[in-house]
Structure 1
């Protein structure tokens, strides 16, 4: 992929999230009357986020020729739970999305582990040059991590303000994921299949 396409891919990946946060900050304390119903700012931003997410995933597919299985799954959850949020005028549905997503990811990884398989290796299409044993260890650790993120999401959306939830959902989870993979550097080195 060229540098220009790589820049576009990053913009399409991060753009919707950044626009969601910007939109939320602008309208979080406002209420909008539409069709005889009052909608809080979070619900309005969610209503705008869904088509934006669909558009950026379509553009990503046009640019790269593929969209990962994880991106498709996340998109489906965002559309379903975002749609429920807007249709029922209840922000709790969108807030539950990450709990369900990370819970399902964790459960699926544990099913693979029970079968002696690393479904993570399958999903990532062998993107990391590590041994099968390394993939199995990484899969176990990631299954535990995903379960922890699901629990954290439940605690945060139920116990804290929407402002805290938005920060967690957009930046906290991403930071936690990056931190997780940074801590796996020793595993990648010990189980590397590369000579150097």
Structure 2
């Protein structure tokens, strides 16, 4: 599946949430967000015959916390969702490293060929980044109006994530593995084989 389609499937529900919230309020916006998320997950399955782990986990949380928001008519639940999801991702990545498992490598190993040290660095950085996003979400939703929080969720978190991703390119390049002509692998940039 092309990258732009993946991006559209991830951003589409957020943009729908933004528009629905601005026209009908947070509870209706959340209900529409839930439907758009389910449609995006179904489209991902139809197009690729698989659903990536992060969008799937996030989608389940949207449906659970969105369902609570709609059912109880309380926006607290949808506001807590980014905090809980990002905390979960951060703890899984850092906890995995503490127990000898690199879940980032498991999720992305087919996309990037990186040394073990590179995977460790990336997992630590992403784990800390997810925890920072959780803290930022808590600060924002507790200190601003709901519409401002929705704007931050849609137009703040994604750009922060893109910028953070771009800052990780030097690690990917430094620890990239290239196959040698004789079939062995060599790490580029760190002088080790």
Q: What TM-score does the superposition give when structure 1 sets the normalisation length? A: 0.85
The corresponding residue for 1:16 is 13
CA drift at 1:9: 4.2
- Pairwise CA RMSD: 1.7
C-alpha contact 1:47 1:82 (8 A) present in aligned 2 = yes
Bigger CA drift: 12-21 or 68-77?
12-21
Stretches of structure 2 lacking an aligned partner (at least 5 in a row): 180-187, 189-193
Stretches of structure 1 lacking an aligned partner (at least 5 in a row): 28-40
The corresponding residue for 2:81 is 97
Return the match for 1:114 from 83, 95, 98: 98
The question of 1:127 aligning with 2:127 is answered no
CA drift at 1:8: 4.5
Structure 1 segment 1-196 matched on structure 2, within 5 A: 1=1, 8-27=5-24, 41-194=25-178
CA drift at 1:115: 1.8
CA drift at 1:10: 3.9
Deviations 1:86-142 (A, max 9, x none): 111000100000000000011111111112321111122442221111000110111
CA drift at 1:20: 1.3
C-alpha contact 1:117 1:136 (8 A) present in aligned 2 = no
